[in-house]
Chain A
Amino acid sequence: MKAIKLIFAAALTVFLAACGSTPQPPVQLQKQLLNAEKRVGIYVDVIEEPTTNIYGAGCLLCYGVAVAANSSLSKHLESLPTSDIESSKQILLEGYKAKAGSVEFIELTEQEFKKLKKFKGELGYAKKDFRSLKESKNIDVLVVLDIATHGAYRGYTNYVPNTDPQGYVRGLVYSVDLETNQYLQYLELDKKVVVEGEWDEPKQKFPGVTNAYYQAVEQVKETINKIFL
């Protein structure tokens, strides 16, 4: 009985300790490791359509109510083209072209991604072991652009909104040296832009929120551009 208790306590400690793991800090682009002989592959994860992202509606019913309350905004955002946010990949292409010999976009299927093993490295190393891609994709450096979500952000406490909808883009951009699996660059993207004036303008197709969304997109593009400065 004692042993069971001990194992349970140990498992709980490990579980709680994992919750507090140190997040990866930003890594400035290691330009000295890029040269004309390096081959760079840029992988852009699928970018979903923009929508309203609800945070803080802590119960299932609260979340349902919040989603329903913002449904007309979500419907509008989903009708917006993704071409603006997608154009951020061109900034990466141009940026790396100026620093490396060969740069191209690469495709990675979901299966290929799943096949990659976990990498047990310290901070500064990618969590997945990308090293196998060096041979299979014939590249030395992998660049990943992952736009996790975009559209509008709205904070809630249970059923009640704490914020007005804001323009929102969240994602991650990083590059990995496929020799060592070390990050050459790592940056979390998180832009929220407040709507100027009223936001609840369904008859006019939410011009305030739409403008704030495009502002967030442009801010993300500026941030990506600054990686190469």
Chain B
Amino acid sequence: MIRIKKLLVSLVTIAALAGCKSPKRDDYVVAKSLNKDDVIEQSEFKFYLDLNAPVEIRGEYSHDRSIDSAQVMYYGTPGAALVQVFSHAAINSSLKEQRLKEQQEEANRYIGPLIEASKQVTHVTLTEDMSDYVVKQLPVAGDKTVNVKPIFFSNQDMNKLSLKLIAWIEKPKSSKTKSRKKLSNLMYQNIIEVHGSTWSEETATALMDGQADIADHYEALFVRAVESLKKDLSGTYSQTPQQQTLHIKKKNTKQFLRASVIEQSCEYVVIKNLRNWILHYPASYVTNIQNQC
């Protein structure tokens, strides 16, 4: 009996310790659209971005949390066996989280030189030409100013950037609930994701060596995302056409994406995925829809 107790204590300790390592999940949100009555006209659009915070640049990482797990033999009384099952579940869960965290860290290590080359990029440089829209004070809940948080990603080759712009508007204090769930206290939440084109070898070298202004590339993605956010808040994207499986060119392979095309131009295809996130891809990357040019 003492043996089992010892085993359980050690299992729970391992689980608790492993649980300390948690991966970043701020690049994922559940989308929530604005009510029809709350739409924000494009002329009234304002956003808040913490200008003192550093720009976040991360490596594109694998989301695979699968782990190899040996067969486990549960023993003892039914109660003890049940505790072992829960311990097993806790350990597995921790190992999965640990794997994801390691993948995120490894992806960041890969792009170390790009992070170094992008040190001069700040939130101030991103918003240089957007002073009309930027609010410098933290918005009061309910005043319809959008909070935004940009997270940039780079591929391992460090020749392609993408941006996930997380955007949210808090409900007025009077209509906030006591719910612990963040979503129920928000009027709006979404992700605007913008993918840039792959840089040529010469461009990549020039940017890494500081011979070309890398900030322009970050700013271009940010400006596109903010323009798209304006449209989403004003109700432009409220009609969602039929879904289809899109083929997206990715290095030497193809990536597939189930989504609805909501906007198309010579330069970009804008789609709404099944999570209602808004994604922008360079038009030449979407290979199975007719080019509009």
Contact = CB atoms under 8 A, between A and B. Distances in A.
A210 interface: yes
Given A159-B88, A204-B30, A204-B275, A218 B247 contact: yes
A195 interface: yes
Interface residues of B, number: 32
Contacts of A195: 63
A194 interface: yes
Nearest to A218: B256
B291 to A, nearest CB: 20
B254 interface: yes
A163 B66 contact: yes
B256 A214 contact: yes
B274 to A, nearest CB: 3
Contacts of A204: 30-31, 274-275
B63 A162 contact: no
A95 interface: no
A157 B70 contact: yes
Contacts of B273: 207, 211
Contacts of A211: 257-258, 273-274
A195 B66 CA distance: 11
Given A197-B27, A204-B275, A218-B247, A162 B66 contact: yes
A195 B65 CA distance: 10
Interface string B270-293: 000111000000000000000000
Contacts of A49: none
A161 B257 CA distance: 26
A222 B254 CA distance: 10
Interface of A: 58, 84, 155, 157-164, 194-198, 201, 203-205, 207-208, 210-211, 214-215, 217-219, 222
Question: 7 tightest A-B contacts by CB?
Answer: A207-B274, A163-B66, A218-B256, A214-B258, A157-B69, A197-B28, A215-B256
